[in-house]
Chain A
């Protein structure tokens, strides 16, 4: 028989997916280069999307933000080597190594739930929704340490506006990728996977809430939540979901992973609050990485402008 039936093809003959994807990229790249040569377009401009895809690639044209802190920034080395990212490991020093081969591209984000425009968006399309800003934020972990990081992104509200949520939508739920092959920590049920976090709609729409894809002038390293995460500076770090694959709009309050794991210790709101202790340790002080003495923790991590979101609420109850 001249034409082989599919079953006749030994599996060794089938091109592995990553190689054929590379071939496609090569062909696409060649086509772009050809087109650029013909039309006289600068090659750099055309090639930008793929440039952005690489970790540590520089992000140009950053806008400064009035929300930025002037405090001393934590060294890049510390922020990229000390990570609470249980999808890789519960040891904070391990995600940097374990996330080396993680693939943040190609990546699609599902926008669904109570929205007019349910859609699957390529992450690079999301990155182009608004001009990237550098926002130097304080970041306070529920464990009692803190860092100052120059994140890159734009207000989460930019994406939410474009999704056009329905009037009934009161909350936004964020889901992290579930892929135990790439994320070895997910092979152990320390939390219920996939990781889920959530915000009330007005919190998510607050200009401080950042949709984030870079830090220190570069594309996010994998261990810091590439390709897309949120950064909510007035809440404990675990609220800032990483490696997001789904953004869902809901009427009811989402159940976030840590609340599900220990509802007496971790609530839905999880605002930084020095007056409400974790049942097992004090939240009155924090250690800024690189400093010897602890410093007092500030209400809402010092972001007083969000206080209005919680007026009339008992924050001891709604911890």
Chain B
């Protein structure tokens, strides 16, 4: 019941950035360059939501609020949703479906290349986000596939860093948060590797002990 309510809240919350844009669009509130505002806002929210999904695991561990895993899929799908809006803004409002221009851009402009990579890597994650796909792939494989989100996160932040002219403060804030979240993974991974190693060296000795005791 609590999870159900939380999910409804997350769903409504996920629509707020879009709602705000729509409201402003109809009330002459998007300023002198509305398309730029829409592009930046949808891009910002894609990154924020990717970082949010990445923070669920450490948050669960530290706060012992294990139910949080129940909202991760929805947040991830919202990240994809804003990514689609961001990409659509670029294709439609910026390039006006000039496919030739778009292909040239993706090949020639590093910041678009990495941004496009980040977006494309989100697609399989969105498709396989259902319970059916988790079953079909098997938990291990599914988890392995979904580690692509790390690459999306890194590519997304680089996309932002390479876009700005001189003021790196905002993209570097994203980079910092992403860095902390990835560092957490590296530390967990190292800790587990050490534990495994320790237990692997301990096993024969304990076998010896049992033999002796027998």
Which B residues touch A86, using CB under 8 A? 166-167
Tell yes or no: B165 within 8 A of A by CB: yes
A145-B36, A280-B109 known; A188+B169 contact, CB < 8 A: yes
Decide if B31 is an interface residue (CB 8 Å cutoff).
yes
A190 x B167 contact (CB < 8 A): yes
B167 touches A289 (CB 8 A): no
Asked if A280 and B166 sit within 8 Å, CB to CB, the answer is: no
Kindly provide the distance from the CB of A88 to the nearest chain B CB, expressed in whole angstroms.
12
Which of chain B's residues has its CB closest to A191's CB? B166
Inter-chain CA distance A190–B96, complex, in Å, is 33
Which residues on the B side are within 8 Å of A269 (C-beta)?
none
Residue from B33, B93, B96 with most neighbouring chain A CB atoms (10 Å): B33
- Dominant SS among interface residues on chain A: loop
The answer to whether A280 and B33 touch (CB under 8 A), given A188-B169, A190-B167, is no
How many A-B residue pairs have C-beta atoms within 8 angstroms? Tell me: 46
> What A residues does B109 contact at CB under 8 A?
280-282
Q: Does A164 contact B (CB under 8 A)?
A: no
CB-contact partner of A289 in B33, B96, B105, B163, under 8 A: B33
Give B164's nearest chain A residue, CB to CB.
A90
Q: How far is it, in angstroms, between the C-alpha of A293 and the C-alpha of B169 when the chains are bound? A: 31
Say yes or no: is A294 at the interface (Cβ < 8 Å to chain B): yes
Asked if B32 and A82 make an inter-chain contact with CB atoms under 8 angstroms apart, the answer reads yes
Instruction: List chain A residues, Cβ under 8 A from B31.
Output: 78, 81-82, 93
> Cβ of A261 < 8 Å from any Cβ of B?
yes
Whether a CB of chain A sits under 8 angstroms from the CB of B16 is: no
Give the docked Cα–Cα distance between A289 and B34 (Å): 9
Assess whether B142 is interfacial by the CB under 8 Å rule: no
Q: Return chain A residues, CB-CB under 8 Å to B33.
A: 82, 92, 145, 287, 289
Contacts of A191 in B (CB 8 A): 166
Q: Which residue of B lies closest to A142 (CB)?
A: B165
Q: Is A202's CB within 8 Å of the partner chain B?
A: no
Let me know if B17 is at the binding interface, CB within 8 A: no
Residues of A near B32 (CB, < 8 A) are: 77-79, 81-82, 92, 289-290
Partner of A280, one of B94, B96, B163, B167: B163
Pick the contact of B166: A79, A90, A292, A293 (CB < 8 A): A90
Flag whether B110 is at the interface (Cβ < 8 A).
yes
B35 within 8 Å of A (CB atoms): yes
Asked whether B166 lies within 8 Å of A261 as measured between CB atoms, the reply is: yes
Interface flag for B162 (CB, 8 Å): yes
A293-B96 in contact given A82-B31, A145-B33, A188-B169 (Cβ < 8 Å): yes
> Complex Cα distance A261/B168, Å?
13
Residues in chain B near residue A120, CB distance under 8 A: none
A92 surroundings in chain B (CB, below 8 A)? 32-33
Give residues in B with beta carbon < 8 Å to A: 31-33, 35-36, 93-94, 96, 101, 105, 109-111, 162-163, 165-167, 169
Besides the known contacts A143-B165, A281-B109, 7 further A-B residue pairs in the complex with CB atoms under 8 A apart? A81-B31, A81-B32, A82-B33, A188-B167, A191-B166, A280-B163, A289-B33
